A and B are shown apart, each in its own frame.
Chain A
Amino acid sequence: MMRAVLPLFLLHLAGATEEPPQKPGLPGEPSPGLALFRWQWHEVEAPYLVALWILVASLAKIVFHLSRKVTSLVPESCLLILLGLVLGGIVLAVAKKAEYQLEPGTFFLFLLPPIVLDSGYFMPSRLFFDNLGAILTYAVVGTLWNAFTTGAALWGLQQAGLVAPRVQAGFLDFLLFGSLISAVDPVAVLAVFEEVHVNETLFIIVFGESLLNDAVTVVLYKVCNSFVEMGSANVQATDYLKGVASLFVVSLGGAAVGLVFAFLLALTTRFTKRVRIIEPLLVFLLAYAAYLTAEMASLSAILAVTMCGLGCKKYVEANISHKSRTAVKYTMKTLASCAETVIFMLLGISAVDSSKWAWDSGLVLGTLVFILFFRALGVVLQTWVLNQFRLVPLDKIDQVVMSYGGLRGAVAFALVILLDRTKVPAKDYFVATTIVVVFFTVIVQGLTIKPLVKWLKVKRSEHHKPTLNQELHEHTFDHILAAVEDVVGHHGYHYWRDRWEQFDKKYLSQLLMRRSAYRIRDQIWDVYYRLNIRDAISFVDQGGHVLSSAGLTLPSMPSRNSVAETSVTNLLRESGSGACLDLQVIDTVRSGRDREDAAMHHLLCGGLYKPRRRYKASCSRHFISEDAQERQDKEIFQQNMKRRLESFKSTKHNICFTKSKLRPRKSGRRKEGVANAEAPNGKPPRDLGFQDTAAVILTVESDDDEESDSSETEKEDDEGIIFVARATSEVLQEGKVSGSLEVCPSPRIIPPSPTCAEKELPWKSGHGDLAVYVSSETTKIVPVDMQTGWNQSISSLESLASPPCTQAQTLTCLPRNPLDAEEPQAPLHLPSDPRPSFAFPPSLAKAGRSHSESSADIPQQQELQPLMGHKDRTHLSPGTANSHWCIQFNRGSRL
């Protein structure tokens, strides 16, 4: 792996070393005229070197990961350090002096912030605050304890004569050294623990500690440093007090700076609706500003950035567009991983520079032993105390991992490099010791912690995807606990969290989130939304094989996938809501799923035909006015789908626009929605529905305007929304449209009459939209395209293309029977029982409209159809039922 990197490195090295002689040559060269070729290394040297370093590091990473075996055994940080050592050795051999090293300035100003921001921003905040007590204890008490005991013990070692007398250091020097060596390093911990996958509680405690102890480290380091510089004789009692006070100032001040910037950041992103492009930039800028501000005021910069990331995330994520969210995520991860890589590599390289360090075995060994021992002792003592208060005590194994996971890293190294040799005569020894400690912890402990965790059988983190149930119940539990605490009269953690959430909901979110985001904002809804997207994406990703492949798993499906008893039908049925594999239509649950099917269908349709259509316009791709053209062009399936799903839901249901145009329609639909809810029992008034549909038709026309001034629909993407809006509106029409379809091929000419039927079947409005959508699209926009797209979608969805009725039936029924005993019976049952039959009309309608959705239910419905027909007619106007049928046949023939 070195070999791959080497040439590059040498090249860069050659540039670096040969540059000085060249430089005098350049001006001296007599080139009065126009030089055809000029070598300007000097001008680009600094950025070039930086870029090269990062490139080398990245290439090294690639090489490491070529072998899975190596990376599974050895943490990346170890490999990088070793790589750094080798590179440093080469530099040393070639240049005869150590060229590069980890500069504290670079480290603190450029390399550390991205890592901390990344960890703060993506910190699981709930987990963090759940364990805040433990984290703070370890971070503050633990670090203080480590610093003082290590320092004191080393001093004792020296007094005992075990440290060579060359090491000229007093008690304060050792305390200073202890303070810098005692802090657990976030970079190292993150690098190692991310690969170990211990359970989340353990992880958050170790990691949270490493982040929060920065304040303590900074304070201790500064206080000790100034004490050393003053000389121990001059230190007054008030200085000690000041030292203690500064602990609070630095930590609370840092946190406050972070929170202020988080507030600013959230507030700023509230107003970026029209300049989405700078949203990611804002996040990074303001977070970095927080870091620099804290650094400037000599507060804890790490704490500031952590708090900034932690505090702003909720609001920022709600405010910025989906793409910006992705951009932020990836940029942050990229920067952090880049910085981390460079840090470890530079650590390795810096260690080669032997001119900076002086070895003393006693000191080195003593330090190693002491930090391990005191860390373990401190953890055990603190855990014992903490366990008195914890609901879930930390057991012995946790404690072992926590003590062993106390890795030291680049922060300690940078701090020790910063020492002033004139004030701290033993600096060289300290540097050497720090290097050894860092290397030992990162390499030896980093290497062994994975086997140790395995051997101790530490509870691993188990990744399960969120399910709606879990999310909902978790909220329930929170509320229950808060209520019980109220009843008991104990204002504990749950009480305060509840309070905070209420405050947040009432004021903070209102202030910091843009209105539309605030409306949609709800965790349960979020999960729901995300599940849908994931299903949709995976569905499309799998192409048309979904139905055929027995091993289908949709990602959002809960644990049951792993359970042996999963049957395909079960899976399909469950997952259906998102991905609309329609086997589930047999279920009695109607509206939601069907509506989702509809959404899904939109997505598919959109995804399939849109790129084609867009290509025509794509000549304007290079226009800067990307908001209209380019963005649309570049849309990929995913985006398309997400937006659609999202906007489908949100526009349809919850955002009532202020546009006058939309008003009537909306309100109409609203009412209808209400009617829908009660539908099964009573018939909604006809005229209402009629009104509705009329309004809808209008809106179809108006969509474009709506789109262009996207201001009111806060959607980032103009395109998807329109469709959705229209689609939803059309939902209402669907019955009508489909009905008309049979009569006349172009849906636009639809006579309004059939609508009423549709109104009567309230649930139908939910799913029906597919048909309408499709049909209107086809005729209106790009008929030819649509046709193909339609065909594609169908073929991809189900391999059973053409005659939906007969073939589909056989095909789909066959797989089912063996899998699920209940299914076959369902059709039989239904006729006998009038109630369940209710479920069918929607499915019928749907089947008629779009077979693409599900090959499966079509047959079923057809079976049922005749039976259903009679029953339904009592409730529905006969026309509709029939019309649906006809459509279906039409479609089939057409296809």
Chain B
Amino acid sequence: MGSRSSRAAVIPDVDSIRRETGFSQASLLRLYQRFRALDRSEKGYLSRMDLQQIGALAVNPLGDRIIDSFFPDGSQRVDFSGFVRVLAYFRPIEDEDTGIRDSKQPEPLNSRMNKLRFAFQLYDLDRDGKISRQEMLQVLRLMVGVQVTEEQLESIADRTVQEADEDGDGAVSFLEFTKSLEKMNIEQKMSIRILK
């Protein structure tokens, strides 16, 4: 423990980060190493470029949006705590989380709602709290690929929005978004095991 904590002490603000994200010391350390590896010029922060250099991310249809989610509010750099905070959404939900955390913080980052919120903001580009038809169309365009034509995409987008749209405003609010996914095991589908 001694050696580990001393190594973990390299990380700035370890304790507060741990408290916020709920990551274990070991995974924090691993993430920190990864962070340093991504930060090629050792700036102490990551720029968009750093993330864009991850090869597979370029192929990922949602890669850009996910990179964007690391840079909230138009900032151009993300430090380690910001980096970890995004990844914390994908920490698996553990039983003890609910017990311990509820008293201190109402919602840990990896709660179902927060996981959904993360996904939601990938759709909601203009941040108005609603996935409009246009936004849906954009996502579909990314996801579906070339073999479906624009018109088909539009009809899919229409139907998708309709399906989830309960109040008839032609857009999917976060509430409607969660509702359309209430049958899905988000806790499982939006978690990565190694991020304990």
Contacts and interface: CB of A to CB of B under 8 A. Distances in A.
Q: Do A and B make up one complex?
A: yes
B158 A589 contact: yes
Nearest to B193: A391
B162 A520 contact: no
B173 to A, nearest CB: 13
A492 B192 contact: yes
Contacts of B160: 468-469, 472
> Which residue among A467, A470, A472 has the maximum number of chain B CB atoms within 10 Å of its CB?
A472
A488 B162 contact: no
B180 A520 contact: no
A487 B183 contact: no
A592 B149 CA distance: 13
Contacts of B100: none
A524 B57 contact: no
Nearest to A489: B34
A44 to B, nearest CB: 53
Nearest to B160: A468
Interface stretch (A285-293, A347-355, A373-381, A475-483): A475-483
B155 A488 contact: no
Interface in A480-509: 480-490, 492, 494-495, 498-499, 502, 505
Contacts of A654: 147-149, 152
B54 A487 contact: yes
Interface stretch (B1-9, B11-19, B163-171): B163-171
B180 A470 contact: yes
A477 B190 contact: yes
Contacts of A577: 155, 158-159, 162-163
Contact of A528 (B87, B150, B156): B156
Given A480-B119, A524-B144, A559-B183, A653 B161 contact: no
A593 B159 contact: yes
A676 B155 CA distance: 13
Contacts of B189: 474, 477, 481
B29 interface: no
Interface string A727-751: 0000000000000000000000000
B109 interface: no
B184 to A, nearest CB: 6
A528 B180 contact: no
A485 B165 CA distance: 32
Contacts of B150: 653, 673-674, 677
A476 B191 contact: no
B10 interface: no
Contacts of B56: 482-483, 486, 495, 498-499
Dominant SS among interface residues on chain B? helix
Contacts of B152: 525, 649-650, 653-654
B125 interface: no
Contacts of A589: 133, 158, 161-162, 170
Interface in A191-216: none
A19 interface: no
A673 B92 contact: no
A472 B143 contact: yes
B183 A462 contact: yes
Given A522-B145, A677-B154, A587 B170 contact: yes
A391 B180 contact: no
Given A592-B155, A654-B148, A473 B57 contact: no
B57 A492 contact: no
Contacts of A521: 147
Across the A-B interface, the 7 shortest Cβ-Cβ residue pairs: A592-B158, A592-B155, A653-B149, A469-B180, A654-B149, A519-B147, A653-B151
25 contacts: A391-B92, A464-B183, A467-B180, A472-B143, A473-B180, A477-B119, A481-B192, A482-B60, A487-B87, A488-B87, A492-B193, A494-B192, A498-B56, A519-B147, A524-B144, A528-B159, A559-B179, A560-B166, A587-B168, A588-B170, A590-B158, A592-B157, A593-B158, A596-B159, A676-B151
Interface of B: 31, 34, 37-38, 51, 54, 56-57, 59-63, 66, 87, 90, 92, 118-119, 122-123, 133, 139-140, 143-145, 147-152, 154-166, 168-170, 179-184, 188-195
Given A479-B62, A487-B51, 16 more contacts: A391-B192, A467-B180, A482-B60, A483-B60, A484-B87, A487-B38, A518-B147, A525-B148, A557-B163, A573-B168, A586-B168, A589-B162, A596-B159, A649-B152, A653-B148, A654-B152
Interface of A: 389-392, 462, 464, 467-470, 472-477, 479-490, 492, 494-495, 498-499, 502, 505, 518-522, 524-525, 528, 531, 557-560, 570, 573-574, 576-578, 584, 586-593, 595-596, 649-650, 652-654, 673-674, 676-677, 822
